[in-house]
């Protein structure tokens, strides 16, 4: 059985007119020249109820434009948009009532007033009945541990507290779609964890479809079922993280603690297939232990294995392996691999 999609973007194009500034201020005033920028090209994006989509890409990839189109403040130049069955621009007000939107570091809370006032206001805007609002507020207060500061003015709260309140507020009307733009930026580890838990709960319990952009790939790993990677307005990957790992050969990493110098280890492993490189890394020790030298062996997991590398090393009498650890390629490496393959040289954003 196929469930109906909540987010449906089909073959979306979006062009912007950008004023060319290099012709001198006076000339561009009298005869402005515009350059066409294609912010989105051939974008297809579909998501069902309760799905959590992570959305990443370098600056200028088209992430914000996608969010603005879904928020009903921007029209695609070409292509069809439907969110929860509605055209976001033609039926803007109805559409926006289905939406929650949280932007990192810019909570939509009334700055000078107690948090609870913003919650009441939100209830009025999104037509949540008074009794229901009261019960949902109580629920959110419990989930997010808001009790101690819900009656304090927003400006007195820490960023983490404000973002928790903002997310809680945006869930009061149980939106069909929740858009999160860099929601965890600037949050500490505990705050991030709490934030992710509630997003996951919302998707599960209310069937809210979540689309979030993040700098923090650990967010993507912790939260999303699906990852969408964009570059220059085009989607370059859409699938699960496990799928992404298989899709690309990203080197695995064997970390060794040994009394032999890295150069010796490199010489021993040199003729094995799939060994891509041997590097050393100084690991700082704590008060008792001095800093130590570790050896990192990068290898292609499809052509070699950690076991064969270790077998070779342990067979050498002059090398004593004290400890070792195998590292899965971190998601950062996977993402930079996919960027490299697509000719991106920017920091993921």
CB of 60 to another protein, least distance (A): 11
CB of 308 to another protein, least distance (A): 53
Residue span 281-310 as binding mask against another protein, x where in contact by CB under 8 A, dash where not = ------------------------------
- Assess 103 for contact with another protein (CB under 8 A): yes
- Assess 245 for contact with another protein (CB under 8 A): no
- Assess 10 for contact with another protein (CB under 8 A): no
- Nearest to 257, CA basis, from 236, 281, 235: 281
Nearer to another protein, 175 or 274 (CB): 175
Pick the piece of the chain touching another protein (CB under 8 A) from 119-127, 218-226, 231-239, 247-255. 119-127
Could you tell me how far CA 127 lies from the centroid of its own chain? 30
Contacts of 29 (CB under 8 A, 6+ apart): none
Among 80, 124, 267, 346, binds another protein (CB under 8 A): 124
DSSP letter, residue 269: H
In terms of Cβ atoms closer than 10 Å to its own Cβ (0-12, 13-18, 19+), residue 25 is exposed
- Assess 126 for contact with another protein (CB under 8 A): yes
Place of tokens 């561009």: 28
DSSP letter, residue 294: E
Among 46, 82, 108, 247, binds another protein (CB under 8 A): 108
- Nearest to 245, CA basis, from 307, 322, 333: 333
Q: CA 224, CA 36: separation in Å to the nearest integer?
A: 34
Residue span 15-54 as binding mask against another protein, x where in contact by CB under 8 A, dash where not = -xxx------------------x-x---------------
Beta strands (DSSP E) in the chain are: 7-19, 34-47, 52-56, 78-83, 99-103, 177-181, 209-213, 226-231, 234-239, 252-258, 275-283, 292-299, 321-327
Q: CA 326, CA 298: separation in Å to the nearest integer?
A: 10
CB of 75 to another protein, least distance (A): 6
Nearer to another protein, 123 or 262 (CB): 123
- Assess 249 for contact with another protein (CB under 8 A): no
Contacts of 312 (CB under 8 A, 6+ apart): 268, 269, 272
Pairing of strands 292-299, 275-283: antiparallel
CB of 123 to another protein, least distance (A): 9
- Assess 74 for contact with another protein (CB under 8 A): yes
Among 33, 44, 73, 341, binds another protein (CB under 8 A): 73
CB of 144 to another protein, least distance (A): 20
Strand partners, 9: 45, 81
- Assess 193 for contact with another protein (CB under 8 A): no
Count of residues of this chain found to bind another protein when the rule CB under 8 A is applied: 35
Residues 149-178 that bind another protein (CB under 8 A): 153
- Assess 106 for contact with another protein (CB under 8 A): yes
Structure tokens at 247: 């899709």
- Nearest to 199, CA basis, from 172, 169, 223, 173: 223
Among 10, 28, 38, 64, binds another protein (CB under 8 A): 64
Q: CA 80, CA 67: separation in Å to the nearest integer?
A: 15
Pick the piece of the chain touching another protein (CB under 8 A) from 4-12, 44-52, 105-113, 286-294. 105-113
Nearer to another protein, 116 or 306 (CB): 116
Nearer to another protein, 76 or 348 (CB): 76
Q: CA 255, CA 295: separation in Å to the nearest integer?
A: 6
Nearer to another protein, 124 or 267 (CB): 124
User: Which residues sit at the interface with another protein, rule CB under 8 A?
Assistant: 16-18, 37, 39, 64-65, 68, 71-75, 92-97, 99, 101, 103, 106, 108, 110, 112-113, 117, 120-121, 124-127, 153
């Amino acid at each position: 059985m196929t469930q109906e999609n909540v987010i449906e973007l089909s073959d979306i194009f979006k062009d912007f007119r950008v004023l060319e500034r290099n012709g001198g201020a006076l000339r561009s005033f009298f005869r402005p020249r515009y350059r066409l920028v294609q912010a989105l090209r051939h974008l297809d994006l579909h998501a069902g109820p309760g799905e959590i989509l992570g959305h990443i890409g370098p600056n200028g990839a088209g992430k914000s434009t996608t969010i603005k189109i879904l928020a009903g403040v921007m029209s695609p130049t070409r292509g069809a948009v439907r969110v929860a069955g509605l055209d976001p621009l033609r039926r803007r007000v109805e559409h926006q009532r289905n939406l929650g939107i949280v932007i990192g570091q810019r909570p939509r809370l009334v700055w000078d007033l107690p948090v609870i006032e913003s919650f009441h206001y939100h209830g009025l805007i999104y037509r949540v009945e008074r009794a229901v609002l009261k019960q949902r507020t109580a629920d959110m207060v419990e989930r997010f541990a808001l009790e101690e500061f819900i009656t304090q003015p927003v400006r007195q709260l820490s960023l983490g507290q404000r973002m928790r309140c903002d997310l809680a507020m945006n869930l009061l009307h149980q939106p069909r779609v929740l858009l999160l733009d860099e929601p965890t930026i600037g949050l500490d580890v505990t705050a991030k964890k709490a934030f992710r838990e509630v997003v996951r709960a919302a998707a599960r319990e209310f069937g809210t479809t979540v689309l979030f952009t993040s700098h923090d790939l650990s967010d993507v790993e912790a939260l999303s079922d699906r990852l969408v990677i964009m570059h220059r307005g085009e989607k370059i990957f859409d699938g699960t993280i496990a799928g992404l790992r298989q899709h690309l050969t990203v080197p695995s990493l064997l970390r060794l603690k040994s009394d032999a110098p890295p150069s010796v280890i490199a010489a021993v492993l040199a003729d094995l297939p799939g060994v891509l490189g041997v590097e050393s890394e100084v690991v700082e020790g704590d008060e008792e232990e001095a800093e130590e030298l570790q050896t990192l062996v990068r290898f292609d997991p499809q052509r070699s294995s950690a076991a064969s590398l270790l077998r070779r090393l342990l067979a050498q009498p002059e090398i004593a392996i004290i400890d070792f650890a195998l590292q899965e390629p971190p998601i950062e490496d996977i993402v930079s691999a996919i960027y490299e393959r697509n000719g991106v040289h920017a920091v993921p954003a």
